[in-house]
C-alpha cells in the first residue's frame, strides 16, 4: 500500500510539473488580466502540492496510512451509489429549485452520508458552504446562477 502511494504521488508530481510547464508556454498573464494558462497552472500546482503531501505522509507515518485506508473502507458501495445518484439529482433539479436551495440540500445530504455528526452541526456546515459558494460564484466572480421558483 505504501509503495503504491509513493508511486502514485511521484506520478502526479511529474504530471503536475508537466502541466505547469506547458501552461507557462501558453501564457499565464496576471491575476488582473489572466492568460489562457493561468487556470491550468493553478490546477497543476494544486495537484503537485497534494501529491507532495501524499508522498511525505507515506514516508513519515506508515501507521497513519493504514488508519486512513480503514476510514476509506467505511464508505460502502451503497453509500457510494447514493452519493452518485444525489449528484445526478442535483444537476437535474438545480434549474428548478435554484442554486441556493438545491446546493444546500445536496451538501446536507452528502455531509450526512459521509460524516456522523449532530444534525445542527451538519445544517450549519451546509449553510456556510452554500453561502460560501454563492459569495465566490455570484458576488466575487459575477456569475449568474439559477434562481429557481423562489426567484431570490
Sign of the torsion formed by the C-alpha atoms of 10, 15, 18 and 23: negative
* 43 exposure class (CB count in 10 Å sphere: 0-12, 13-18, 19+): middle
Does the pTM of the predicted model rise above 0.85?
no
Are 108 and 126 in contact, with CB atoms under 8 Å apart? yes
Whether pLDDT at 62 is above 80 = no
DSSP code per residue over 47-72: HHHHHHHHHHHHHH-HHHHHHHHHHH
Instruction: Reduce the DSSP state of residue 37 to 3 states and report it.
Output: coil
Tell me the pLDDT tens digit for each residue of 84-140. 888 899 999 988 998 899 999 999 998 888 777 888 899 999 999 999 999 988 888
pLDDT at 151: 66
Residue 102, φ and ψ in degrees, nearest 5:
-70, -35
Tell me the pLDDT tens digit for each residue of 18-59. 999 999 998 888 777 888 888 888 899 999 999 998 888 888
pLDDT at 71: 54
Amino acid at each position: 500500500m505504501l509503495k503504491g502511494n509513493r508511486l502514485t504521488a511521484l506520478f502526479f508530481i511529474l504530471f503536475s510539473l508537466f502541466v505547469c510547464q506547458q501552461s507557462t508556454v501558453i501564457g499565464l498573464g496576471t491575476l488582473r488580466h489572466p492568460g489562457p494558462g493561468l487556470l491550468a497552472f493553478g490546477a497543476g500546482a494544486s495537484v503537485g502540492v497534494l501529491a507532495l503531501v501524499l508522498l511525505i505522509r507515506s514516508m513519515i507515518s506508515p501507521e497513519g496510512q493504514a488508519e486512513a485506508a480503514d476510514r476509506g473502507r467505511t464508505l460502502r458501495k451503497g453509500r457510494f451509489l447514493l452519493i452518485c445518484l444525489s449528484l445526478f439529482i442535483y444537476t437535474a433539479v438545480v434549474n428548478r429549485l435554484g442554486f441556493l436551495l438545491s446546493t444546500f440540500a445536496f451538501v446536507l445530504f452528502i455531509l450526512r452520508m459521509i460524516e456522523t455528526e449532530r444534525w445542527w452541526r451538519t445544517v450549519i456546515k451546509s449553510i456556510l458552504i452554500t453561502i460560501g459558494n454563492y459569495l465566490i460564484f455570484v458576488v466575487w466572480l459575477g456569475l449568474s446562477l439559477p434562481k429557481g421558483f423562489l426567484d431570490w
